[in-house]
Amino acid sequence: MTVATVAIAATVIAGCSAPPAPSPPPDAIETASPVASPSPVTGPSATPTASPSVDPSASPDPSASGSAVSSEPCPVDTQNGRLPSDRLVDVQVSSTDSADVVTFVFGEPSSLAPPQGASDGLLEAAQPPYAEGASGQPIDVDGEHVVFVRFQGMTLYDDAGTATYDGPRRVPAGGTALRTVVNSEGFEGVSGWYIGYDGPGCVTLASDARSVSVVITHGPS
């Protein structure tokens, strides 16, 4: 897959207008534009956003619990850009009253100029069949709609052979819209993730100096 430059800063997906939600989306869900590395960049014109202000303790509206109402999805446009660093160290899932959020946390860069080159990211719509990148083995991905997040130019292991990211390959996912967060590959400097979700909500991006977040709005109540 070809990846142009993204730090996946908060870019509202082109042509997508988020449906009304019970409360405004997090402050971090803003339009962003590229800056020089190591600051994250998203799209042709962006500025780094403040740290995504997502309250992990917040819970979705009980009346909207369970699968969101199925309807025409908000279209997903391909986005790419520079990442905060070449080391993914954590994946976190949280919710607010209006959105479910998957946050990819990055550690300190391995060096000023990683040997594998620039670290870039890609977000795009995904279609079945879903499979592991190296083996081609099928992967179960729940959700009416699926996006694929691909990080390349990554340092996956340190000099001692310890994995940079040692969390689960399938991150527990819950909320109004979010259904699946699963790692599809970790090979030759590439880390890939499928994110499955229900309902017509839009997918937007938010970033700061150490993280990139995929924000899925809940859509109408």
| Predicted pLDDT of residue 136 | 87
Res. 167: pLDDT tops 50? yes
**Domain presence at residue 59:** no
- Which residues are CB-neighbours of 82 under 8 A, at least 6 positions away? 5, 6, 7, 34, 37, 38, 39, 40, 41, 118, 119, 120, 121
Q: Which pLDDT score is estimated for 114?
A: 64
Task: Name the strands in the sheet holding 99-106, side by side, starting at the edge strand that comes first in the sequence.
Answer: 88-95, 99-106, 211-217, 203-207
Domain range enclosing 164: 1-53+74-221
pLDDT band of residue 202 (cuts 50, 70, 90) is: very high
**What's the number of domains the chain is made of?**
1
CA 211/CA 94 separation, integer angstroms: 14
What CATH number did the domain enclosing 183 receive?
Answer: 2.60.40.3500
Domain-embedded: residue 63: no
Q: Is the dihedral of CA 49, 50, 55, 61 positive or negative?
A: negative
Q: Which of 37-51, 69-83, 142-156, 162-176 has the lowest mean pLDDT?
A: 37-51
Domain assignment present for residue 62? The answer is no
Q: What is the mean pLDDT of residues 90-119?
A: 88
Task: Outline where the chain has alpha helix (H).
Answer: none
Mean pLDDT of 181-209: 94
Q: pLDDT at residue 100 above 90?
A: yes
Residue 191 scores a pLDDT above 90: yes
In a domain, 83, yes or no: yes
CA gap 40, 169 in Å, rounded: 24
Residue 143 lies in a domain: yes
Predicted local confidence at residue 50, as pLDDT: 38
